[in-house]
Chain A
Amino acid sequence: MDNRVKDNRAWLGVLPVLLIVAFSGVIPLMTVVNYSFQDILDFDNRFFVGFQWYSQTLNDPRFITAFARQLLFTASILAIEIPLGIMVAKGMPRQGKKATAILLFLAVPLLIPSNVVGTIWQLFARPDIGLMGVSLNYLGWNFNYTASASQAWFTLLAMDIWHWTSLVALLSYSGLRSIPDPYYQAAELDGASHWQTFRWVELPKLKSVLIIATLLRLMDSFMIYTEPLVLTGGGPGSSTTFLSQHLATMAVGQFDLGPAAAFSVIYFLFILLFCWFFYTIVMSESD
């Protein structure tokens, strides 16, 4: 981004994108911000309430637990999917028909609609008709994810790993492929172990794709809605109710527009904050 020509006419190229994002992004966002400061009884009858909804949301124990749950979920899937994705990528052949076949297969879960993913796992995990549910019960584990919070979490994590590890693997694989042979050979001749080769040859080259993978998984897992809704409906109890579902219940279900809007703003700001935090930490380390 450095040897670029200075020319403000380039704005013309950006303008269409700007307009459409402003239309479908800025207007709704302003509406949300606007609502978040008002008490809306109906659309002709509203009051300015200042930061009331914000303080109410931040002090709401349901928000706090949903938030903590969300953090735990995001941290868990990152901790599993990133290393697993790298391992999967490392196990792939460098080229050939077999490599292409595996790649296509890995890409499949990424393109399945999220409610279908939920459905697939429901069919797979149910203790009465699911292959996994029945097998686990057969093996002596009293498995019913609709009744046990820990089992619901287990199933949810298994599903997210199933759905998204491929993304990390595909990104890592293309990163690994960009490393020229002599880099491996030099490390081999220097006597480097597998771990040292990974640490000093592969990881530095993977860094940029891993940042992308982590950011994508960070944001998307923070917004997760459909899969848990289909699979567990947020239960049992509210043990798998994450932020998006909580928000949707408030906004659409209960029509608490003001609090829902305040919730939205806080939610969005937190995601921005996390991404920014992660990005600055990673970037400052490299210099």
Chain B
Amino acid sequence: MAEISFQDISFSYEGSETETIKDFRLTIENGKILSLLGKSGSGKTTLLKIMAGLLSPQRGHLFFDRGEVTQLAAKKRDIAQVFQFPVLYESMNVEDNIMFPLRVKKLPEIEARQRFEKVCSLLELNPILKSQSKDLSLYQRQIVSIARAFIRPNLKAVFLDEPLTALSPKLKWQLRKKIKMLQREDGVTMVYVTHDQTEALSFADKVGIIDAGALVQLDEPKTIYERPLTTFVGDFIGNPGMNFLPAEAFNTQSDSPKKANKIGFRAEWAEFVEIGEGGLSGKVVSFEADRTRDHEPHGTASIRSDWGQMRVKGSYQKSVGKTVGVRLNNQLFFDSNNTLINEDG
């Protein structure tokens, strides 16, 4: 278990002009789960490889607790990683696969056995212990590689690189639960890379949003959703993403800060009203119902207004093509750099 901190780390791949990671700073608290969330190509997997010691940064320093590990070999870092597609030693059976890291480290047999049994019972692996790797399903293979990661004692951290991508939603949910259980057992620091926001938001203590090799926001999942620091985060997180309209659309509202350039609001922060009542109005282009509440269809409407497109969640019973009024119950202000304006100061 360790706190991991990046100090101004930069990295570029051989032969590449642009830096994949630029002056990256981040501290991951000891014993917590951090999700790194970003689009593909944003550099999140590269960050993971730098932490694991599989890539070595050109500039900057990496610390585990107080000790610098920037140039330390991967095998000396006491960390484990689970890869996107399960990696097993094909010629070994399940038990030998899981025990392999302990045997390499020459852990005393009794202690090794104890850890082995604990991990196997948590992951319900006992029925397949003697199976050959090649006979396992994808899901089973990934569980085994997770077991091989968590079985190791005194781990500084465990890294997971989109380990659930290839699985069906139901299996994803099961495996996520198991990973969380294992993490709690030892309280090991965990970094979880994904491009699936539901996964990141429901799973982690903190979420780091990565874009173009830089950390855009690091916060608890709720804060990320409710107070995105930039319009990028607002748009990227949530389904649908946050609505942004130019500030002039709201010039009637007296409480908007002077430098406000855009106003952002989530689809559920707005409601339908009569035209003229809310200050905004537009034509409903489409409506997607997801359930019925009090005999009224409830869902998300796409609205085209004079100021641009927006999406609003609520009950809507008129037909598509009508013009409606929209009122905001909550909103955020962003300046001309697309950065959140803090209303408190």
Contacts and interface: CB of A to CB of B under 8 A. Distances in A.
Contact of B74 (A183, A189, A196, A201): A189
B53 to A, nearest CB: 8
Contact of B75 (A191, A201, A204): A191
Given A190-B100, A190-B148, A200-B89, A182 B83 contact: yes
Interface residues of A, number: 17
Contacts of A190: 75, 80, 100-101, 104, 148
Contact of A201 (B80, B89, B105): B89
A230 interface: no
A185 interface: yes
Contacts of A183: 87
B248 interface: no
Interface in B70-101: 74-75, 79-81, 83-85, 87, 89-92, 100-101
A177 interface: no
Given A185-B52, A186-B81, A200-B100, A205 B87 contact: no
A205 B90 contact: yes
B166 interface: no
- Chain B interface size, as a band, is 20 to 34
Interface string A186-199: 10111111001000
Interface string A65-103: 000000000000000000000000000000000000000
9 contacts: A182-B84, A185-B52, A185-B74, A185-B83, A185-B87, A188-B54, A189-B54, A193-B104, A200-B100
A193 B101 CA distance: 11
Given A182-B85, A196-B104, A188 B92 contact: no
B254 to A, nearest CB: 57
Question: Per DSSP, are chain A's interface residues mostly helix, strand or loop, or mixed?
Answer: helix
Contact of B91 (A182, A189, A192, A204): A204
A186 B105 CA distance: 15
Given A185-B81, A186-B87, A204-B89, A191 B52 contact: no
Given A182-B83, A189-B80, A191-B101, 9 more contacts: A182-B87, A185-B52, A188-B54, A189-B75, A191-B105, A192-B75, A192-B100, A200-B92, A203-B91
A254 to B, nearest CB: 52
Nearest to A182: B83
Nearest to B100: A190
Nearest to A203: B91
Contacts of B74: 185, 188-189
A191 B80 CA distance: 10
A192 B102 CA distance: 10
Q: Which has the most chain B C-beta neighbours within 10 Å: A186, A193, A203?
A: A186
Contacts of B100: 190, 192, 200
A206 to B, nearest CB: 11
A188 B104 CA distance: 11
Contacts of A185: 52, 54, 74, 81, 83, 87
A183 B89 CA distance: 8
A204 B83 contact: no
Interface string B159-201: 0000000000000000000000000000000000000000000
Contacts of B81: 185-186, 189
Contact of B104 (A180, A182, A191, A201): A191
B210 to A, nearest CB: 21
A194 B129 CA distance: 27
- Closest 7 A/B residue pairs (Cβ): A204-B91, A182-B83, A186-B87, A190-B101, A191-B75, A191-B104, A200-B89
A278 B239 CA distance: 61
Contacts of A192: 75, 100, 104
B201 to A, nearest CB: 27
Contacts of A189: 52, 54, 74-75, 79-81
Nearest to B85: A182
A205 B134 CA distance: 12
Contacts of B105: 191
B92 A186 contact: no
B75 A188 contact: yes
A200 B97 CA distance: 10
A186 B83 contact: yes
A205 B89 CA distance: 10
A185 B101 CA distance: 13
Interface in A221-279: none
Contacts of B148: 190
A200 B87 CA distance: 12
Contacts of B80: 189-190
Contacts of A203: 91
Nearest to B76: A191
Contacts of A201: 89
A213 to B, nearest CB: 19
Interface string B31-56: 00000000000000000000010100
B213 to A, nearest CB: 21
Interface string A166-194: 00000000000000101101101111110
Nearest to A196: B104
A200 B52 contact: no
Interface in B316-331: none
A204 B90 CA distance: 7
Q: Which has the most chain B C-beta neighbours within 10 Å: A183, A188, A189, A192?
A: A189
